[in-house]
């Protein structure tokens, strides 16, 4: 897989996934234009530049995107927070990224999340065209981002791959993540495939390795030419019994995120909502 011809803008470069992509993609020869609201906490790789910028600064994002053919949008708040904390970076910031992509005719890889569908029961196996059921303000912002991507594809022909990221970790920490885990190698290969595909239109990918316990099934991976090679299955014995004591967290795919500001005394009737 060759490095992209044009520079690649990576937002959220200082975050956990951003640092992973910075090091791994730079090593593959990608010309990275890195940005975050906080300083880069790792050495700047060869061939990369870094500029601090706020996603809410439309002009700054437009300037950073100049000449880029691909934008990896991993910036913004990445945990469950108040709506006011998430509003600026995740909603307004994503709008600024898509406006920049529109101006540059760039492809976008949007870091969506499993929390955009986190209120499905764990017993439900989802396809990529399932109804959105965000499990909090963070998941709601990712559902908004997916709808934004669809709007910009249908009105402006801005291509996007929306990755509903599960758990990008070196290893599985608990039983829930046997379903959601994606290895670092699988994740980097997924990003490479997003860049290499001849066309992606507006595609949704479940960001998980080949896990037999996965909550998720069909997506657009054949279109972009990605097949996960790793699996959580060989880690199952190591994490057996690592669960929470919270019935809400254990019922829903979103896990602990669902429990934040959960005020029902029961569970929402599943029959009220289509399951797939």
Mean pLDDT of all residues in 15-31? 98
Residue with tokens 């990896």: 72
Query: How high does pLDDT run on average in the chain?
Result: 96
* pLDDT reported for residue 269: 76
pTM here is 0.96
Alpha carbon 62 to chain centroid distance? 21
Catalytic residue (one of 138, 144, 152, 252) = 138
Summarize pLDDT for 56-94 with one digit per residue, the tens. 999 999 999 999 999 999 999 999 999 999 999 999 999
Q: What is the rounded distance in angstroms from the CA atom of residue 129 to the CA atom of residue 198?
A: 22
138 is catalytic: yes
Superfamily holding 8-272: NAD(P)-binding Rossmann-like Domain (3.40.50.720)
* pLDDT reported for residue 275: 54
Residue with tokens 């997506």: 219
**What's the CA angle centered on 253, arms 249 and 254, to 5 degrees?**
65
**What's the CA angle centered on 37, arms 34 and 40, to 5 degrees?**
50
pLDDT at 178 over 70: yes
Q: What is the rounded distance in angstroms from the CA atom of residue 44 to the CA atom of residue 36?
A: 13
Strand partners, 113: 165
Q: What is the rounded distance in angstroms from the CA atom of residue 24 to the CA atom of residue 110?
A: 18
Q: Computed from CA positions of residues 255, 261, 263, 265, in that sequence, does the dihedral angle turn out positive or negative?
A: positive
pLDDT at 271 over 70: no
* pLDDT reported for residue 144: 98
Summarize pLDDT for 247-264 with one digit per residue, the tens. 999 999 999 999 999 999
Alpha carbon 76 to chain centroid distance? 11
Residue with tokens 């920049």: 100
Distances (CA, A) of 181 to 130, 172, 209, 269: 20, 6, 6, 28
pLDDT at 184 over 60: yes
Give one DSSP letter per residue of 106-157, joined into a string: -EEEEEEEGGGGTTSBTTPPBPTTSPP---SHHHHHHHHHHHHHHHHHHHH-
Domain ranges of the chain: 8-272
């Amino acid at each position: 897989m060759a490095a992209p011809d044009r520079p690649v803008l990576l937002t959220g470069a200082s975050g956990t996934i951003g640092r992973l992509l910075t090091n791994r993609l730079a090593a593959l020869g990608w010309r990275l234009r890195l940005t975050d609201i906080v300083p880069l906490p790792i050495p700047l790789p060869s061939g990369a530049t870094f500029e601090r910028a706020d996603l809410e600064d439309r002009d700054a994002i437009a300037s950073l995107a100049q000449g880029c053919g691909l934008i990896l949008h991993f910036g913004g708040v990445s945990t469950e927070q108040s709506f006011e904390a998430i509003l600026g970076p995740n909603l307004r910031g994503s709008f600024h990224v898509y406006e920049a992509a529109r101006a540059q005719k760039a492809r976008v890889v949007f870091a969506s999340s499993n929390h955009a569908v986190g209120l499905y029961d764990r017993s439900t196996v989802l396809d990529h065209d399932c109804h959105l059921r965000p499990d909090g303000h963070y998941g709601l912002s990712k559902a908004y981002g997916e709808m934004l991507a669809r709007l910009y594809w249908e009105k402006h022909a801005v291509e996007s791959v929306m990755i509903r990221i599960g758990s990008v970790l070196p290893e599985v920490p608990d039983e829930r993540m046997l379903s959601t885990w994606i290895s670092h190698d699988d994740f980097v290969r997924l990003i490479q495939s997003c860049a290499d595909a001849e066309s992606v239109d507006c595609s949704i990918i479940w960001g998980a390795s080949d896990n037999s316990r996965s909550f998720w099934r069909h997506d657009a991976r054949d279109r972009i030419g990605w097949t996960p090679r790793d699996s959580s299955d060989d880690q199952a014995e190591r994490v057996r019994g690592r669960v929470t004591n919270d019935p809400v967290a254990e019922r829903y795919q979103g896990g602990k995120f669902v429990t934040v500001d959960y005020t029902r005394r029961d569970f929402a009737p599943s029959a009220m909502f289509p399951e797939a």
